[in-house]
Amino acid sequence: MSSLRAAARLRLAARLPAVRTSRPYSAAAAAKPSKPLSHAPFFSNEPAGPTIKTAIPGPMSQAAIEELDMSFDTRSLNMLANYEQSFGNYIKDLDGNVLLDVYAQIASIPVGYSNPALRAAASSEQMISALINRPALGNFPQHDWSDILCTGILTVAPKGLDQVFTAMAGSDANETAYKAAFMYRRQQERGGAHVEFSDAEIASSMINQAPGAPQLSILSFKTAFHGRLFGSLSTTRSKPIHKLDIPAFDWPQATFPLLKYPLHEFEAENAAAEAEALADVERLITTHHLPPCAVVVEPIQSEGGDNHASPAFFRGLRALTKKHNVLLIVDEVQTGVGATGKFWAHDHWNLETPPDMVTFSKKAQTAGYYFGNPDLRPNKPYRQFNTWMGDPARALLFRAIIKEIERLDLVTNTANVGEYLYAGLERLATQYPGEFQNLRGKGQGTFIAFDSPRRDEFLSKAKSVGVNIGGSGERAVRLRPMLIFQKHHADLLLEAVEKIVKS
Amino acid sequence: MSSLRAAARLRLAARLPAVRTSRPYSAAAAAKPSKPLSHAPFFSNEPAGPTIKTAIPGPMSQAAIEELDMSFDTRSLNMLANYEQSFGNYIKDLDGNVLLDVYAQIASIPVGYSNPALRAAASSEQMISALINRPALGNFPQHDWSDILCTGILTVAPKGLDQVFTAMAGSDANETAYKAAFMYRRQQERGGAHVEFSDAEIASSMINQAPGAPQLSILSFKTAFHGRLFGSLSTTRSKPIHKLDIPAFDWPQATFPLLKYPLHEFEAENAAAEAEALADVERLITTHHLPPCAVVVEPIQSEGGDNHASPAFFRGLRALTKKHNVLLIVDEVQTGVGATGKFWAHDHWNLETPPDMVTFSKKAQTAGYYFGNPDLRPNKPYRQFNTWMGDPARALLFRAIIKEIERLDLVTNTANVGEYLYAGLERLATQYPGEFQNLRGKGQGTFIAFDSPRRDEFLSKAKSVGVNIGGSGERAVRLRPMLIFQKHHADLLLEAVEKIVKS
């Protein structure tokens, strides 16, 4: 190590106590909910409750949607919103309707609409320069890029992971992680980073053939969702509509344990389902004709229907991947950044060794993957590279989000409010049998879901009682409030949900 | 058509004269360079010339690079820059060195560092809200999304294309265009948008097998570059280092005509090379075991070495793709937004029918693809979809860039300065035989390149004489100035280039 490098490491270590020594959210802060539930709203400018003025979409929205549709596909449009007039947990549409938003841009708004602290960060000179002077980060990073990483993204790096590759969204976060996994595997097979590519590899790579383009795979799970580009879509198994007509790699999918609820009534069956799923993983790792170099898994399968598995299952998966020298990639695109009552959902697992890579996006408002093993940096430059490699403006925003989470102790808040909300839903489930099936997410913050016998009707009625809610899978209602969702919001939500099932 | 829709169309038509009637850049403005070259700098705060204080990287930069490398791979790092202190065409590093930048973040800075008009746009309330309230555009677009598109991205839509799908960067712009092409082809094969998916398609799609995951391909050209994710990388053929160890689809590559220079001396040979390449395209379209549903092509192969072809070649390609009912996707990620002296490089071709899709990124500071045929919208929602579907903040920035291009007439500027610069390089090529081989890009604005017998040395020496220049392919020096590159910058560049070859 050069003296410069040694000095840099010292400076860095001084700056990164969170990463190197303790973990404020992951392990400590959220472990024991201690504070009482606050009744005081975090933000004074937040509406006191929903306002419904018209059917949704109202006339103003309808006209605007027709206009937008001229040039932009609006068939998946749910609501047209005015975000400059949306505050905190409330989303406002063009007809003056104000809804409590527990969908939050598909789980991607962390600290509320028009958050004042984010507004300050967005108005800063640093942000303006980042926006208008966007660098090619791999070639010409800005002078403060290390500082932006060390005071932002890396302060919340999962335990054991101190490197980051920045990306733009969940799909490319996962795909660049997959690329790292393939390169790592082939490097091992070649005998190390110092072994040069063979002529056959070089020549065949250019015609998309083995050995240069290797016959290897990424193993994912049934009902998983990992993105929609060609590599990530090959690992996505949630719904046919995402996959139809798109060529895919012949990669394997393992059974995901479909747990039965309530969990305490089906302990043995669920344990058996998890053992079976792990056996399926091992079978595919050892026998699939395209050997998996990595397993990718969501802590809670989100798009695919809010499917959970136990910490024991994930510990088993870590053990299996270690045993067979296969990497474990944890896709925290939807679960990450506090929603489960820990900063990263995989912190619930108490793993003995960390995952090899953890991908993030959504609530981080930027994307990428963390890793720890330096060998996951490819042996040569320009192998993992692209023009922008992320966006400093969005990295600055994530830093502001992290500070806001710290300031308001939002991971603790989410753990506590989640507990309260779950208890309320349990009461409703008893009161309205059949309307709240397979209630799940206990102890997982506000990352709560249940199946509804008439889900799409449920979601549509929710708007008329002032709440914006999303679904997942075929029949799940998924709750994805922001981290600033408080007890009084939970009360409003519970009341609205009761109205829906009673109607 | 509903009356609402009719009214919306009227409002839209009134707003979009550029798209619907004339094309300010594409056809008209840049066709006949008319204005004299301006000597007055566009920006008063731009440095008068380069300043070299230390070797590059200097001591400050070296220390900062060591620190950054702790958490972020820096092996592709070229310069660490301070963009808050960079202005116009000049990039400043941490040691006080100021370089004339004709690489411009790999061809992606359009109107100069710290551009005052972009600064104003970046400080606006609309931008702040876009940054902190990022919507899931497919589900919950903001109220002014249609306006942002109609007053920005769509005002420069290529002739014949009035729809846009927004994305994040060049790779996903291309991959979503590929997805649209696959869905379109399969829809035709099924007999139209109204024909439902078969049970076999639905079931097989979930296991990544045909017919649901079809045995179709995208045809690209040798030495092409279209991105680095799994689908786009399968069409990239520039260098093994981009492709090694990454699984790829078995998609075909056609010969690209490798023209000989000077063009007027090799007319017959070059025409034969182009005819041969077109014959190869037709052979692959008609015989490849995975039938291509689209051909993707760059107007000028950029990353792959600045390889040009004639307008006649591209007209032939359009004719061939029409003949065989294959889509033509023009990848304008590097060539688009004015650099070639027309707003879109394919405007040089005088096509009889427009390309089916045109992808963009880089100088647009946002990304996506334009299209015209409504059937390229998939038959159902959620088939072409993701959480963010682009970034309104970046779309607002593109709008500001477009206005700045208009205000300063920068496409005309680029055409004129390009002509001047090309003439200067021609003179140097005569004066220093062998040092400027295959000079190319005449009539293509500042999109100029030449081969150097000692390219990497050339690029490295350039810094010592105050210029930041990039390479492409194995031995090309590629010039990628910003659109605000003026005659006095060209004089500085020519002087610097002469110093390098004389040294």
**pLDDT tens string B472-488:** 999 999 999 999 999 99
Distance CA B434, CA B448 (A): 17
Distance, in angstroms, between A172 CA and closest chain B CA?
7
CB contact B20 to A (< 8 Å): no
Query: Which residues of chain A are within 8 Å of residue B473 when distances are taken between CB atoms?
Result: none
Q: Do B172 and A136 touch (CB under 8 A)?
A: no
Which residues in chain B have their CB less than 8 angstroms from residue A73's CB?
A: 138, 165, 377, 381, 384
Distance of CA B94 to the CA centre of its chain: 29
Domain borders along chain B are 59-115+410-473, 125-407
The residue assigned the tokens 């046919």 is A240
Closest CA to A327 of A359, A366, A280: A359
Calculate how close chain B gets to A114, using CA atoms only, in Å. Answer: 6
Distance of CA B358 to the CA centre of its chain: 10
Residues A262-287 have pLDDT tens digits of: 999 999 999 999 999 999 999 999 99
**Chain A neighbors of B4, CB-CB under 8 A:** 62-63, 66
Alpha-carbon distance of B307 to B322, in angstroms, equals 24
Residue B27 has pLDDT above 60, yes or no: no
List CB contacts (< 8 A) between A146 and chain B. Answer: 64, 67-68, 70-72
Shortest CA gap B200–chain A (Å) = 11
Q: Sort B36 into a burial class: Cβ within 10 Å, 0-12 / 13-18 / 19+.
A: exposed
Cβ distance A128 to B122 less than 8 Å, yes or no, reads yes
Q: Which of B149, B153, B208 to mutate to test the interface with A (most CBs of A within 10 A)?
A: B208
Chain B contacts in chain A segment 36-55 (CB below 8 A):
none
Minimum-distance CB partner of A8 among B66, B143, B229: B66
Contact predicate B176/B422, CB 8 Å: no
Residue that wins the pLDDT comparison between B199 and B25: B199
pLDDT band at B200 (very low <50, low <70, confident <90, very high): very high
CATH code of the region A125-407: 3.40.640.10
Contact assignment for B132 to A143 by CB distance below 8 Å: no
Q: Given this model, what pLDDT does residue B18 score?
A: 42
- For residue A3, the model assigns a pLDDT of 58
B386/A228 Cβ within 8 A: yes
Closest alpha carbon within chain B to A170: B387
Please work out, in degrees rounded to the nearest 5, the angle formed at the alpha carbon of residue A174 by the alpha carbons of A168 and A176.
75
Rounded Cα distance between A265 and A283, Å, is 29
> Is B8 within 8 Å of A377 when comparing Cβ atoms?
no
| Residue B345 contacts residue B300 (beta carbons within 8 Å) | yes
CB contact (8 A) between residue B4 and residue A82:
no
B28 pLDDT more than 50: no
Integer Rg of chain A from CA: 23
Smallest Cβ distance to B71: which of A109, A133, A164? A164
Task: State percent of chain B over pLDDT 90.
Answer: 91
Contact with chain A for residue B379, Cβ under 8 A? no
CB neighbour burial string for B113-141, b if at least 16 within 10 angstroms, e if fewer: bbbebbbebbbeebbbbbbbbbbbbbbbb
Name every chain B residue with its beta carbon within 8 A of the beta carbon of A158.
Answer: none
Active-site residue, selected from the candidate residues B362, B371, B412, B458:
B362
- Establish whether domains B59-115+410-473 and B125-407 are of one fold: no
Q: Do B76 and A381 touch (CB under 8 A)?
A: yes
User: Bridge partners of B88?
Assistant: B113
Q: Over range B374-403, report the average pLDDT.
A: 95
**The pLDDT of residue B396 is above 50:** yes
Catalytic entry in B51, B286, B353, B387: B387
Q: How confident is the model at residue B9 (pLDDT cuts 50, 70, 90)?
A: low
Residue B233: strand, helix, or coil: helix
Which of A80, A172, A244, A456 is the mutation pick for testing B, counting most B CBs within 10 A?
A244
User: Is B331 a catalytic site residue?
Assistant: yes
Active site residues of A: 225, 331, 362, 387
Token pair 């390169």 is found at: A183
Q: Which two tokens stand for residue A379?
A: 């042996």
Over 60: is that where the pLDDT of B81 sits?
yes
B334 touches chain A (CB under 8 A): no
- Judge whether A272 is closer than 8 Å to chain B, CB to CB: no
Contact map slice: B 277-316 vs A, CB within 8 A: 290
Q: Residue B106 corresponds to which tokens in the numbers above?
A: 């790999």
- Secondary structure of residue B149 in the 3-state scheme: helix
pLDDT given for residue A71 in this prediction = 87
Predicted pLDDT at A415: 98
Within A74-205, residue ranges assigned H as helices are 104-107, 116-122, 125-132, 145-150, 170-190, 199-205
Q: Is the pLDDT of residue B4 over 70?
A: no
Query: Given A171, A245, A362, which is nearest B182 (Cβ)?
Result: A245
Q: Cβ contacts (< 8 Å) between A393 and chain B: which residues? A: 131, 393
Which of chain A's residues have a Cβ under 8 Å away from the Cβ of B92?
Answer: none
* B244 contacts in chain A (CB < 8 Å): 183, 186, 197, 201-202, 205, 212, 383
Question: Mean pLDDT in runs of 10 for chain A (503 residues)?
Answer: 55 49 39 62 95 97 95 94 97 98 98 98 97 97 95 97 97 98 98 96 98 98 98 98 98 97 96 98 98 98 97 98 98 98 98 98 98 94 94 97 98 98 98 96 98 97 98 96 98 98 93
| Cα dist from A377 to A146, A150, A179, B71, B398, whole Å | 17, 19, 11, 10, 33
Distances (CA, A) of B344 to A263, A408, B171, B444: 60, 49, 19, 11
Tens of pLDDT along B314-372?
A: 999 999 999 999 999 999 999 999 999 999 999 999 999 999 999 999 999 999 999 99
The amino acid at residue A382 is: Y
Specify the CATH class of B59-115+410-473 in words: alpha beta
Closest CA–CA distance from residue B302 to any residue of chain A (Å): 13
